[in-house]
Amino acid sequence: MANAVDFSRNFLALAEQKGVLRFGEFKTKAGRLSPYFFNTALFDDGASFGDLCGYYAQAIRASGIAFDMLFGPAYKGIPLAAGTAMQLAAQGTNVPFCFNRKEAKDHGEGGTVVGAPLKGRVVVIDDVITAGTSVRESVEIIRTQGAELAAVVIALDRMERGTGEKSAAQEVRDAYGVPVIAVANLDDLMGFLTGDNRLKSYLPAIQAYRDTYGVK
């Protein structure tokens, strides 16, 4: 198994190659001008999405956390949870997974949760954390079923302050007392740029952005 540096760097290389990770000037939802853009929805073919889920699986295993199953919040978390469960199984760790639907179903099996029963220690799989709404909804579903949150796993931690002094990932970590595991974070991104002659010219802008909006 690749070490943490390897899979984070490989993940970022794939993201840049696929156009998931781009550099320039982009306006964020918060109205900030960011020197980079990241959108996991652009992992839009079987090969790259399979690789993405493989990196999620490696990040989970490298973290050493104890867990019993995966949960994917609707909608982006649904394919991520399924794909990561498949990749974990391929890497020797076979665990069940489930996801929620936005509206409760009143026929057939009914309810809002689809897949394996929610029980034990649950890892939530999502693309990013912005306002933390998806995590709050997931925790409510998990606790209602008598299970417990073990960790939240995301693709990229921007390590950027929200409205306060903490990042969205730090707020989730502190609110629920569980780790937020990222396949890569801003430190990894800057290391990746440093090692790539094509891209290192973007480093000063990202460093300046981090100086302004980064968490302490």
Contact present, 141 and 117 (Cβ < 8 Å): no
Please tell me the distance from the alpha carbon of residue 76 to that of residue 46, in angstroms, as a whole number.
15
Catalytic residue among 102, 107, 166, 200: 107
Task: Tell me the β-bridge partners of 160.
Answer: 214
**Active-site annotation holder among 18, 27, 29, 105:** 105
Cis peptide bond N-terminal to 176, omega within 30? no
Contact criterion met (CB below 8 Å) for 31 and 207: no
In Å, how far are 7, 39, 103, 164, 199 from 51, measured between CA atoms? 10, 15, 30, 34, 22
Query: For residues 182 and 157, is the Cβ–Cβ distance under 8 A?
Result: yes
Query: Is 105 a catalytic site residue?
Result: yes
**What positions carry a catalytic annotation?**
105, 107
